[in-house]
Structure 1
Amino acid sequence: MTDIPTLGFLRDQLRRARQLHGLTQEELSKLINYSASSVSAMETGQNQLSADYLARFDKVLETGGLFIGMLGLIRLHAEPDWFRPWGEIEREAVALRWYDPAVIPGLLQTEAYARAMLRAGPFLTDDEIEKRVLARLARQEVLARDEPPQLVVVLDEQALRRQVGDRATMREQLEHLRSMADRPNVQVRIVPAETPWYIGLNGPFVLARLADGTEVAHLDNQLRGHTVDSPNDLAALGRQWETVAGEALPRRQSARLIEEVAKSWT
């Protein structure tokens, strides 16, 4: 079985490669158009490693794509085995309808929010947490591609008010959520806190539609998530989606509510 490199190993190799080429951090920074402080932060783990940084590093040092390939290998193995089938569906989807009563969806999370969520869970080492943060941020690339999926998100207001990380993390997260909601392919709607109990509070779910019209859903529980594709289950989730969407505020009112709650985290 091939050993999977850790992020710590990747950072060590970046530093070694730079030194073997006789470059200081400042000299490298000028070649790849990053600040010297960013180069230092990438090597020490203060900043999240980005594909753009590694691609420029590979090009300047003529490594043949070694480091971007290493990052891809880490990403591939960062998510739990049970998540990978859904990850493929998420990348191929042309439309996603996402409901969550408790947290901001992964595709819209900031790095700090994602890290704080993962730190709250059990049994993950620091390196495992960083790899999962890396993989989660990589998933968000689907929203930046030339033809991104249409993403409609319905959240319960509690997802905006339940603290994850510190107050600065929450403020940043809600500002990011508000910014993403301005994109033409992203819609975020909020079920207000005064809404009486409704069926969506039973748990989160995602409905995906592929280019050929196929529909698939994803459900999470305390142990793992699983993919659902039976017609009866999809029909039931479709009805639940109509219910939760019907409870949500319109798009503009939702945006104002997100802004108001973001200010409360100052």
Structure 2
Amino acid sequence: MNIDVERSPTNSEEQHLAATPKARALGLAVRKERNDRSTSLRDLAGRIGRHSGEISRWENGERPLTPERTAQILSALGVSGDRFDEIMSLAYEAKNPPWVATTLPERERQLSALIDFEQLASRIIAVSPLLVPGLLQVPSYVRAIMTSGVSVPLNEVSARVALRLGRQEVVTRTDPVNLVVYLGEAVLHQTVGDSTVMGEQLRHLVSMQQRPNVALRLIPYRSGWNPALDGAFTLIESGSAAPIVQMENRRSTLLVHEDADIEVYRQAADQLDKLSFAPEKSTRTIAEMAQRWETTR
């Protein structure tokens, strides 16, 4: 008689599984269900016969949650129906890299994991050839993007603007992340909103460049081919979690974490570092363009 028994992962398997963005998203989803039901870690531990510290590590993505463990926790919390199926789907896919999110629920789960990675980050490298990256956008710039061609319902715009601005706290908090931005020179000339919005946005970049944890580098037009022309990406590094790279287009987002992939994007950032303007020249160029926008109002 064949009996299915849950196999305990080895230490190396645990480290690999826990490192995935999907594993982090799974832990966040389980924690949300527990918090929504006002259930403490100790309470849940008693229901499923596990230690509260172990559950905490599952929720934080430090140790992998297998589908069997996930089902046990969800059942103990009384989660059922579509929500149960949604989280279990994530549990079965948690070890499968990379993570391509195309549906709205998937993208929301992925965004939750991304925000968690940002909160834990020690350094974020943002390569942005065409737009100011989200962590440096001003409210008027964000709103202009979300109301111009992006299919965001009008009743959701304010909430989404607030969410994006809230993520910027990682740059301005007491123990801020080190943010390195490689910005395409085209960003300074591309109208987003109007001249008032552009002037405000570029002045903000100049101001943020003064922070010791922010390094802003312009990729000049005359640099020839460079990795930024392949598209925007964000590399997030942390002392407590494996690094990830995030990429986004109009209908989907992608998170990768495999060592080989991370190395490719690190090399791309190194190449951009060699050909970009120095911080001082970058700041001067941005300030000059801010003034031009301000005089065209």
Range class of TM-score, shorter chain: 0.5 to 0.7
Matches within 5 A, 1:202-213: 202-212=230-240
1:2-55 Cα deviation digits (max 9, x unpaired): xxxxxxxxxxxxxxxxxxxxxxxxxxxxxxxxxxxxxxxxxxxxxxxxxxxxxx
2:103 is aligned with 1:103: no
Aligned equivalent of 2:178: 150
CA positional deviation for 1:146: 1.3
Which residue of the partner structure matches residue 162 of structure 1? Answer: 190
1:130 aligns to 2:158 (yes or no): yes
Alpha-carbon distance between aligned partners in 2 of 1:87 and 1:246, rounded to the nearest angstrom:
29
Checking the alignment, whether the CA contact within 8 Å between 1:115 and 1:129 is kept in structure 2 is: yes
2:214 paired with 1:173: no
Letter of the 1:244 counterpart: L
How many equivalent pairs are there?
A: 189
C-alpha displacement of 1:121: 3.0
Partner residue in 2 for 1:81: 109
Stretches of 4+ aligned residues off by more than 4 angstroms: none
Q: Is the 8 A contact 1:97 1:207 kept in 2?
A: yes
State the alpha-carbon separation in 2 of the partners of residues 226 and 154 from structure 1.
Answer: 20
Alignment partner, residue 192 of structure 1? 220
Report the counterpart of residue 53 of structure 1 in structure 2.
none
Letter in 1 for 2:185: E
Q: Separation in 1 of the partners of 2:187 and 2:150? A: 21
Unaligned runs of 5+ in 1: 1-76
Match of 1:92 among 94, 110, 120: 120
- Counterpart of 2:265, as a letter, is L
What is the distance in 2 between the residues matched to 1:124 and 1:258?
30
Q: SS of the counterpart of 2:228?
A: helix
Runs of 5+ in structure 2 lacking a partner?
A: 1-104
Among 112, 120, 134, the residue aligned to 2:140: 112
Q: What are the within-5 Å matches in structure 2 for residues 33-44 of structure 1?
A: none
Q: Which amino acid aligns with 1:211?
A: G
1:240 aligns with 2:258: no
* CA distance in structure 2 between the partners assigned to 1:143 and 1:199 by the alignment: 25
- Which amino acid letter does the alignment assign opposite residue 177 of structure 1? L
The amino acid of 2:260's aligned partner reads N
How many angstroms apart in 1 are the aligned matches of 2:227 and 2:171? 29
Match of 2:99 in 1: none
Offset at residue 213 of structure 1 (A): 6.3
Q: How does 1:12-51 map to 2 (within 5 A)?
A: none
Q: 1:80 to 1:214 in 2, by over 3 A?
A: closer
**Could you list the per-position Cα deviations for residues 58-81 of structure 1 after superposition, in whole angstroms to 9, with x for gaps in the alignment?**
xxxxxxxxxxxxxxxxxxx9x833
Distance across 2 between alignment mates of 1:134 and 1:161: 26
The farther-off stretch of 218-227 and 166-175 is 218-227
- Cα pair 1:83 1:225 within 8 Å, conserved: no
User: 1:144 deviation in Å?
Assistant: 1.9
Q: Which residue of 2 aligns with 1:183?
A: 211
TM superposition shift of 1:193:
1.8
| Pairwise CA distance, 1:172 | 0.2
Report the CA distance shift for 1:128/1:152 in structure 2 as closer, same or farther (over 3 A). same
TM-score, normalised with respect to structure 1: 0.68
- Which residue identity lines up with residue 106 of structure 1 in the other structure? G
Deviations 1:61-115 (A, max 9, x none): xxxxxxxxxxxxxxxx9x8333221111111101111100000011100000000
Give the superposed CA RMSD: 1.6
Q: Greater Rg, structure 1 or structure 2?
A: 2
C-alpha separation in 2, matches of 1:225 and 1:121: 18
**What's the counterpart of residue 217 of structure 1?**
245
